Each structure stands twice: as C-alpha cells, then as structure tokens.
Amino acid sequence: YYLHNYKVFGKITILGEFLAISAVSMCLMFIIVDLGQPMRAFNVVIHPTPNSMLFWDMIVLNGYLFLNVVVGWSVLEAERNGVAPPKWVKPLIYISIPWAFGIHTVTAYLYCGLPGRHFWLTAILAPRFLASAFAAGPAMIILLALIMRRFTSFDAGKEAIQGIARIVTYALIANVFFFACEVFVAMYSNIPGHLVHLKYLFFGLHGHGVLVPWMWTSLALMLLAIVLLLIPATRRNEAFLAFSCIILFIGIWIDKGLGMISGGFIPSPLHHVNEYVPTVPEIIISIGVYAAGFLILTVLYKIAITVKQEVSGQA
C-alpha cells in the first residue's frame, strides 16, 4: 500500500502493522523463555557479539517492533485527526519493508548457520521462511478481517481480502515447492545427513515415528489449501476462504513448529533417536506467551476499530 499506493489495501494496512506488533512481541517473549532467565537478554546489550546470529536476531526483532509501533500509531493518529501523516513517517515505512524480510532471513540464519545439523544446513531455508511467512501472515489477516466484519462495523472490503488471498496462494505454492526441492536434493543425491531427517519425519526411524502423522497431516492440509485457493469459485467464497486460511495456518505451524525444529534435532549427530515430547510446564508457558500476544492484538485492534468508527461517524 505504502510503496505502490495500492488504495485497495488502505483500510487493511493498519491491521497488518498491529498484527506484526503482537507477533514480534511473542517472538521476543519466546526468545526470553528459551534463554532461561529474562536477565540473560541484557547480556546481548551489555556484551554485544556481532559474530552471533542471536545478536542480530534481537536487533532485527526489536527494530521491526519499534518501526511498526511508531508507523502504525502515527498513521492511526493522523487518520483520527483528519490530517496527513507526518513526513518523517515515510522514510520509516520504506525502511520497514526490507526490515520485514530481514527478520525472517536472520531467523533462518540462526538455523542454517549450524554445520552440525544437516537438516538445517541449506541455503533455501531463508526463502522457505519468507514464503511461509507471506502465506501464514496474510492468511491470519484475512481471518481477522472476516471476524471483524462479522462482529464489528469494520469492513476491510471484499477486493482487499481477495487481493490478499492471491498473495497467500502464491506464497503457499512457493513454500511447498521449496520443500519439494529439499526432498528432491536429499533423495536423488542420497545425502545421508539430509535424508535421515526426512525419513524420520515422514516414515519413522528405528521404530520411532511420533511426528509421522503430524507431517503427513501438515502436507495434506497445505496441498488442500492450495487446491481450494487456486479455484476461483472457492477462493471467492468466504466460507471456503476462511477454511483454507485455517488449514494452511495449521499446516505451516506443524511444518515449521514441529517438523523443522524437532526434525533438525532427530536423529542427533551421533545418530541417536531421542524423541521430544513437550512437558506440562513448557505447554503452559507457551500458552501464556500466545495469550499475551492475543491480548496485545485485541487491545490494538480495539483501538484501531474505535478510531475508524470515529472517523466514519465524523464523515
């Protein structure tokens, strides 16, 4: 919208910016959880290590959070006051666009920079992260826009929703294609370090296969979503569109959250199979982080809808 002045996305842009704020906030909370103690996060600031990818990950995540808070709030405030956004906002908008690519790229580099884990040691991991982000993120925006149309007076517009649906379709196809490239390289070249992880994820290994049904479910959901989104009739039907967005979001979450992370650890570099099952405290903490993210999202969307209702009432 900002870069190409595509007016159709005008009403829905603020939803994407506020969704980014809640999503990045959850990312930072999960990093603090992974570090074990909140105080350890300050070591990144007190003792910066530019040779560490975690250092750059903290920079891009905090930077993108700052950019979206400033840009989103400034644009919304200008809309409420009936004036144009300040001129200093536009450079921040242009900076935030490549920065959005940076957060997913640096996150991928955290994994593909580890030579001891062959499953992650691939240059296509960053494009896979970007493709899945451009599929899952807009899919969530579509779902939120449909929910707000149902329960509030805010309507993002059918043309805007359909435009985002096309973006989701292309990104999801790219995500599945990139994964298919990984499978081809591993299987055709018969690279043991890569092949063994795929065998574990989709067929099991040495009698262990807790993730096998999850991975086939993920693949089936993404392929079904592609079919539904490619057919114009089902894509334009908002019931099918919502269903497609839900199943592709679940499929990508399984693929990235369970398959890619756990699959990189199993088997270990010593070829031991130690399957991972989350403990009750880990599940509770994860639910707490998701709850905090949805709370932030709810508050921000409530503010945005209220402002837009005020503006439309004044008009």
**Tens digit of each residue's pLDDT (9 = 90 or more) over 20-51:** 899 999 988 988 888 887 888 788 888 878 88
Does residue 118 sit in the same domain as residue 267? yes
Does residue 192 sit in the same domain as residue 261? yes
Identify whether 286 is part of a domain: no
Determine the pLDDT at residue 5: 61
Contact assessment for residue 130 and residue 105, using Cβ atoms and an 8 Å cutoff: yes
Identify whether 4 is part of a domain: no
Tell me how many domains the chain contains: 2
Does residue 108 sit in the same domain as residue 119? no
Alpha-carbon distance of 233 to 249, in angstroms, equals 21
Does residue 181 sit in the same domain as residue 309? no
Does residue 126 sit in the same domain as residue 273? yes
Identify whether 283 is part of a domain: no
Does residue 192 sit in the same domain as residue 84? no
Determine the pLDDT at residue 315: 47
Does residue 154 sit in the same domain as residue 226? yes
Determine the pLDDT at residue 4: 55
Identify whether 168 is part of a domain: yes
Alpha-carbon distance of 119 to 198, in angstroms, equals 8
Identify whether 206 is part of a domain: yes
Does residue 211 sit in the same domain as residue 106? no
Determine the pLDDT at residue 94: 85
Give the residues of the chain that fall short of pLDDT 50.
315
Alpha-carbon distance of 248 to 227, in angstroms, equals 11
Identify whether 3 is part of a domain: no
Range of the domain at 71: 10-112+294-315
Neighbouring residues of 314: CB distance < 8 A, sequence distance ≥ 6: 82
Determine the pLDDT at residue 313: 65
Q: Per residue, what are the HEC states of the chain?
A: CCCCCCHHHCCCHHHHHHHHHHHHHHHHHHHHHHHCCHHHHHHHHHCCCCCCHHHHHHHHHHHHHHHHHHHHHHHHHHHHHCCCCCCCHHHHHHHHHHHHHHHHHHHHHHHHCCCCCCCCCCCCHHHHHHHHHHHHHHHHHHHHHHHHHHHCCCCCCHHHHHHHHHHHHHHHHHHHHHHHHHHHHHHHCCCHHHHHHHHHHHHCECCECCCHHHHHHHHHHHHHHHHHHHCHHHHHCHHHHHHHHHHHHHHHHHHHHHHHHHHHHCCCCCCCCCCCCCCHHHHHHHHHHHHHHHHHHHHHHHHHHHHHHHHHHHC
Amino acid at 269: P
Identify whether 158 is part of a domain: yes
Exposed/middle/buried for 244, CB within 10 Å: 0-12, 13-18, 19+? buried
Does residue 255 sit in the same domain as residue 172? yes
Does residue 31 sit in the same domain as residue 159? no
Does residue 155 sit in the same domain as residue 246? yes
Amino acid at 123: A
Does residue 19 sit in the same domain as residue 39? yes
Contact assessment for residue 215 and residue 202, using Cβ atoms and an 8 Å cutoff: yes
Determine the pLDDT at residue 3: 57
Identify whether 210 is part of a domain: yes
